[in-house]
Copies of this chain bind each other. A is one copy, B any other.
Amino acid sequence: MRWSEIDTIPCPVAQAMSAIGDTWSMLILRDALRGATKFDEFQRATGASRAIVADRLSHLVEHGVFERSQYENHPPRFEYRLTKRGRDLQPVLMMLSHWSETHLGKSPAGKPLRLSGRRHTTCDHNFTPVITCSHCGDPATPDTITYDVPRHLTAKKAT
């Protein structure tokens, strides 16, 4: 299977990866969530080559994550702004970042990651993100969640 075909897999994760899962997109999204909007900002912040940034940005625009709009006419200049779809990736990035801080931050490689003190303005305290159930509000941990896994994945071997 080729990477360009993964959008044919009927699975939410595969679909998501097809849209935002290529190698540099997450870093572009990270920078967008921090406020970057211009081509060169993305290029500098990610360190990816210009061709890659151009390619990924247009891919993300195609998938409705960014909106490309001209903010200057005469030398045509564009900015990339996150759509709602794009802004809604913030929780994904936050959980990823939290995982990384928890598990990779104290790596023995001697590169202490700078923890980006996450603060909840509602209560004005530093916090860690906790996933809860939209129905009862209690934490939704892996062992308290079941899935109706699509049939085609269970038919052959029910683990």
A interface, CB within 8 angstroms of B: 1, 3, 6, 8-17, 19, 21-24, 26-27, 30, 33-36, 45-49, 63-64, 85, 87-105, 107, 111, 113-123, 125-138, 140, 142, 144-150, 153, 159
Contacts and interface: CB of A to CB of B under 8 A. Distances in A.
Contacts of A3: 23-24
Given A94-B145, A120-B138, 9 more contacts: A15-B107, A19-B100, A117-B148, A119-B147, A120-B136, A126-B135, A127-B134, A129-B132, A132-B132
Given A1-B48, A35-B159, A131 B26 contact: no
B103 A85 contact: yes
Contact of A12 (B9, B97, B147): B97
B145 A119 contact: yes
Contacts of A140: 120, 127, 129
Contacts of A90: 142
22 contacts: A12-B115, A14-B30, A16-B99, A16-B104, A17-B23, A22-B23, A34-B149, A87-B142, A90-B142, A91-B95, A91-B99, A91-B142, A92-B96, A94-B145, A116-B147, A117-B147, A118-B146, A119-B145, A123-B138, A129-B132, A129-B134, A130-B133
B15 A113 contact: yes
